[in-house]
Amino acid sequence: MVRCGHCMEAFDTRPNFAPDQLDLQLELPILDESITSAYSDMVVLQPMTLAEQVAIVQDIDDKSEFQPKYRTWPWAMAALLLLIVLLAQTAYFFRVDIAARLPDLKPALIGYCRILKCSVPLPQHPDLISIESSALEADPTNENQITLNALLRNRASYAQAFPNLELTLNDSQDKPLARRKFIPADYLPSAENEASGLLPNRELGIKLRLNTTGLKPSGYRLVLFYSNN
């Protein structure tokens, strides 16, 4: 006797026995009747239909609605705040280079610095500014006066602050006799604006008249530098 897995009805399979099929009962040991009865009561499992599987999944989804959901917005707000702080620090520490390379942002950086009590000065890169030529000429009408001519060039792709100059006058043994420093206000022509700086890829010619009473220099040395370098 076996039980149908669909209607749960028990029936005798012997009338449908096919003699040409292998009789598995002949190859199995004789079992106790109580065990045989237990096997006969077993239900044959049938594969679930697609509709039944969908119903089970929907039931699981309905139950999951009652599960607590983690809130992610506090983490998102914290990440956004950290990003804003990082951008603010970057703008503060690199404001000079940002203003030089992105001039359209300079007004915003100046406004930002008004809040932080800082400034946005022009870049000062001495490796990108040079003395292209210089000469020290004696005045034929005044033996105690010389004229310094020099040509400065900004090789950067952005405007830079005018550098300071240092002139050293030497004797015939190349020993220093006198030394003087000149700030931009000392050598800039009246047509130049110190606040605008030396424009990119621009040259500037300067001329300084100096009194050398009692020195009689025979050589000189001219260098440029920035105060904070």
In the chain, where are the structural domains located?
Answer: 2-40, 75-116, 126-225
- Element of type H or E holding 179: strand 176-182
Query: Is the sign of the CA dihedral 124, 126, 128, 134 positive or negative?
Result: positive
pLDDT tens, residue by residue, 35-82 = 455 544 554 555 556 666 556 656 655 555 545 555 687 788 888 888
pLDDT in the model for residue 47: 59
What does pLDDT average to over the chain? 78
Q: Is pLDDT of 124 > 50? A: yes
Helices (H), ranges, the chain: 24-27, 33-40, 50-64, 73-93, 95-101, 106-116, 184-187
Chosen CATH of 126-225 out of 3.40.190.10, 2.70.50.60, 2.30.180.10, 3.40.309.10: 2.70.50.60
The pLDDT-based confidence of 25 (bands split at 50, 70, 90) is very low
Each residue's pLDDT tens digit, 143-185: 889 999 999 999 999 999 999 999 999 998 889 999 999 999 9
Task: Say whether pLDDT at 92 is over 90.
Answer: no
pLDDT in tens, 129-145: 999 999 999 888 888 89
In this predicted structure, the answer to whether residue 188 has a pLDDT above a threshold of 90 is yes
* pTM of the entire predicted model: 0.56
Percent of the chain's residues with pLDDT above 90: 32
pLDDT band at 94; cut points 50, 70, 90: confident
